[in-house]
Chain A
């Protein structure tokens, strides 16, 4: 096997349970984003654009759709003669079959995969975030500083710091302390879950960690603190561009509408750093004479006859005449029928909102603002004629005609 300088391992096994019905049938990295993307397009496009062409994708929860989507990696130009994309589900070994117990264990179970490429460095990524990052720069810094491990960090607002894994470092960027969700954070540098390791160090610590009976086999909880305690050189890599976790309904909704905010710097149209995605053979979108479309993203296969404002329509969505979609995401293949209103909502794939149904409410429409939230309709469901779904509800079964939830 030809030598590869850096192998990326993408942790894509998480269930994403906080996304509720949206991840009932698909893994979180396969969740649609931004009209024509899925979350995993971001780390994979970043890899391709950074020149990292050997990527292992660790799947566990609902791997089918994800594996199908990744396929040969050709959408990201990662179908390579040597290396390329490999989907790595847990598999049976002589000692028996194990699910991936933790993030570190997932990598441990695939040491053989990494070994084949004999890399200098291993880049650990997750499939939970929307961001554009040149990993090559991070690896370059890792080399220059001679670190054993480099962790990508981003400044978060101090008042939110206690929600993150916080990293305390010296002025030269060397790390002296990890604090997982600290009550009284000393800094506002949050770990982005992106690590570069020297391969020999990573292999040593993964193997040792696996032997510990009471370890949770997790990078954040076990591997990194142990490496620090044993005096390894660990550095931060500062990242200052757009980075957003899309692990909750609200953050997913927010991150989508960020694409419509001219003040937010997340340019997916940059020809020098494209975000690639799997495409289907769909015709361009059609906007009818009855339509009103403002402040929105619309993509291939869509037919818009109704009103659209502050919304994102994914592939192959139809909004019929007299229907209104506001402050909402409508995922691939869904249909909003005549006179229906969808506002402050996420409508998952292949869903039908029947005539005159009303899904979601604006914050002004609810009596108590604490009751307000984004309404979510699960995939493949039908919301019946004239039915109403109030703010913040998560719908997992068909809603009958006229029913109010």
Chain B
């Protein structure tokens, strides 16, 4: 019963702006990742695996692709009579504008939080790729009698976000310093946070009334003096999407079997909406090495060091290297592509020669090159 008392909140538009064209027509949460996933699959699966069966997804803009992906929440076992998945679009009351940050976003769904009966809330950003054991985290939160517990990773702090925190701890693991500056070899936030529902309501209301705008600063800025805030270390793989570069790197990280094992654990699988593709088909003379291939792909050419999403076709004589090819991309016969990120349903004509290094990394949805 430990987790049924917990409500999940996912911010679907976390740091959208940092990924430029990738998130021009979609939310961060619906950004395709790793061959068959969308980023929001990670937080949804993490919550679902912990038995959290009431989840609200806060949207802001560009949420059509997100909504078709989520549906009723079935793939994550979130189509529930009690609780289940709720999509929380911005409230458009006459005097309200679309929210700016996460603080205003939560203020906008205050009704949802007030009506809920769960004792705890897990706040998740959708720009983090990690298999986080929220069950364990919740147990830790209770054991430490914490007011707030936040997930952190150790390493060099990603540079893209200007409000990303790193922490200092006392011997017990309680946070005693919070830093928003760039740092190496530090413990930085992965923006997955457990907090009491009532405390969240209180903090958000008072911050908004005082005219403040940042949730991170509201919860952690000076709060660590006042509240018992603890860090929960993410031991396995994690990545934060804060630039096109980090997006490419995180995808290619999956070619390392250690990263894959940590991310796609047997105990806590990552679920996604299925497209019912047939298995990937490798033709005569196919040459594939070091690649993640999704179902529905047809490969008759050469693929190296790449991530191929569902239904990608690599025609005869084509050579694909160091690429991320999203759903439905077609690489025409005898083409050579290197260091390219193609959005969904991009077609590269027969005999093309494209080097992302020279010609630009990204090709937008439905482009014909």
Residues of A within 8 A of B (CB): 34-36, 74, 259-260, 268-269, 274-277, 279-300, 303, 308, 312-313
Determine the chain B residues whose CB is within 8 A of the CB of A290 once the complex forms: 289
Known: A269-B296, A298-B282, A300-B295. A284 touches B36 (CB 8 A): yes
| A310 nearest in chain B by CB position | B284
A223 to chain B, nearest CB (A): 35
Determine the chain A residues whose CB is within 8 A of the CB of B279 once the complex forms: 34-36, 297-299, 312-313
How many pairs of A and B residues are in contact by the CB < 8 Å rule? 103
Q: Is B4 an interface residue (CB 8 A)?
A: no
Check if A291 sits within 8 Å of B257, measured CB to CB: no
B65 to chain A, nearest CB (A): 18
| A287 nearest in chain B by CB position | B288
Q: Which of B139-147, B166-174, B223-231, B264-272 contacts A (4 or more CB under 8 A)?
A: B264-272
Determine the chain B residues whose CB is within 8 A of the CB of A295 once the complex forms: 282-284, 286
Residues of B within 8 A of A (CB): 34-36, 45, 74, 254-255, 257, 260, 263-264, 269-272, 274, 276-296, 303
B183 to chain A, nearest CB (A): 32
CA distance A285 to B288 in the complex (A): 12
Check if B293 sits within 8 Å of A294, measured CB to CB: no
Check if B269 sits within 8 Å of A286, measured CB to CB: no
CA distance A283 to B36 in the complex (A): 8
Known: A276-B276, A282-B269, A299-B279. A294 touches B296 (CB 8 A): no
Check if B276 sits within 8 Å of A284, measured CB to CB: no
Counting chain B CB atoms within 10 Å of each CB, which of A282, A283, A299 scores highest? A283
Contacting A274 at CB < 8 Å: which of B255, B269, B270, B276?
B276
| B305 nearest in chain A by CB position | A289
Check if A281 sits within 8 Å of B45, measured CB to CB: yes
CA distance A284 to B289 in the complex (A): 15
A199 to chain B, nearest CB (A): 32
- The 6 lowest CB-CB distance pairs between A and B, nearest first, are A281-B269, A35-B279, A284-B35, A299-B279, A268-B278, A283-B264
CA distance A268 to B275 in the complex (A): 12
Determine the chain B residues whose CB is within 8 A of the CB of A36 once the complex forms: 278-279, 295
CA distance A392 to B260 in the complex (A): 38
Check if A284 sits within 8 Å of B292, measured CB to CB: yes
Determine the chain B residues whose CB is within 8 A of the CB of A275 once the complex forms: 276, 278
B355 to chain A, nearest CB (A): 22
B243 to chain A, nearest CB (A): 24
CA distance A391 to B276 in the complex (A): 35
Check if B255 sits within 8 Å of A293, measured CB to CB: no
Check if B289 sits within 8 Å of A288, measured CB to CB: yes
CA distance A291 to B280 in the complex (A): 15
Determine the chain A residues whose CB is within 8 A of the CB of B263 once the complex forms: 283
Determine the chain B residues whose CB is within 8 A of the CB of A279 once the complex forms: 274
Determine the chain B residues whose CB is within 8 A of the CB of A282 once the complex forms: 264, 269
A302 to chain B, nearest CB (A): 9
A81 to chain B, nearest CB (A): 14
Check if B282 sits within 8 Å of A283, measured CB to CB: no
Counting chain B CB atoms within 10 Å of each CB, which of A268, A288, A293 scores highest? A293
Check if B288 sits within 8 Å of A286, measured CB to CB: no
Determine the chain B residues whose CB is within 8 A of the CB of A312 once the complex forms: 279
Check if A297 sits within 8 Å of B278, measured CB to CB: yes
CA distance A402 to B45 in the complex (A): 44
Known: A269-B296, A281-B271, A295-B282. A286 touches B291 (CB 8 A): yes
Known: A285-B293, A298-B293, A303-B257. A280 touches B280 (CB 8 A): no
| B36 nearest in chain A by CB position | A284
Check if A298 sits within 8 Å of B280, measured CB to CB: yes
Beyond contacts A276-B276, A285-B280, A290-B289: 7 other A-B pairs, Cβ-Cβ < 8 A, are: A36-B295, A260-B281, A274-B276, A283-B260, A286-B292, A293-B282, A298-B279
CA distance A280 to B266 in the complex (A): 10
Check if B271 sits within 8 Å of A284, measured CB to CB: no
| A316 nearest in chain B by CB position | B266
Determine the chain A residues whose CB is within 8 A of the CB of B285 once the complex forms: 294
| A77 nearest in chain B by CB position | B276
Check if A297 sits within 8 Å of B281, measured CB to CB: yes
Known: A35-B279, A294-B283. A299 touches B264 (CB 8 A): no
Check if B278 sits within 8 Å of A34, measured CB to CB: yes
Known: A269-B277, A303-B257. A284 touches B294 (CB 8 A): yes
Known: A35-B279, A281-B269, A282-B264. A294 touches B36 (CB 8 A): no
A150 to chain B, nearest CB (A): 29
Check if A299 sits within 8 Å of B295, measured CB to CB: yes
CA distance A297 to B34 in the complex (A): 20
CA distance A369 to B67 in the complex (A): 59
B49 to chain A, nearest CB (A): 9
| B309 nearest in chain A by CB position | A284
| A74 nearest in chain B by CB position | B74
| A37 nearest in chain B by CB position | B278
| A288 nearest in chain B by CB position | B290
Determine the chain A residues whose CB is within 8 A of the CB of B274 once the complex forms: 279
Determine the chain B residues whose CB is within 8 A of the CB of A287 once the complex forms: 288-291, 293, 303
Determine the chain B residues whose CB is within 8 A of the CB of A281 once the complex forms: 45, 269-272
